[in-house]
Amino acid sequence: MLISRTDISILKELSFSKDLVSIDRIPNSFKVDFNKFFFGKTLVKENDSLFAYPHDIKSWVRYVFNTYKD
């Protein structure tokens, strides 16, 4: 998996969000990890787009950084 600095910056930005986070903002390099982590979690649909709760995104970002820190 190829991860760019931009992808890392986007994750950092998403982890500080206080509002619903659009699934479209998740970098493609992390889509598989996102889908595995969010399986069974609640997503919100508004205007034909899916959103995740900010506390779930924060937990997911923590999980990704702990998984790939080595």
pLDDT tens digits, 1-13: 678 899 999 999 9
For residues 35 and 64, the answer to whether their CB atoms sit within 8 Å is: no
- Residue 68: the pLDDT is 81
- Residue 1: the pLDDT is 63
> Domain boundaries in the chain?
18-68
- List, for residues 12-32, the tens digit of each pLDDT value: 999 999 999 999 999 999 999
Q: State how far the Cα of 65 lies from the Cα of 53, in Å rounded to an integer.
A: 19
Q: State how far the Cα of 48 lies from the Cα of 66, in Å rounded to an integer.
A: 32
The backbone torsions φ and ψ at residue 42, rounded to the nearest 5 degrees and listed phi first, read -80, 130
- Residue 9: the pLDDT is 94
The mean per-residue pLDDT over the stretch 40-47 comes to: 93
Contacting residues for 63 by C-beta, under 8 A, at least 6 apart: 33, 37
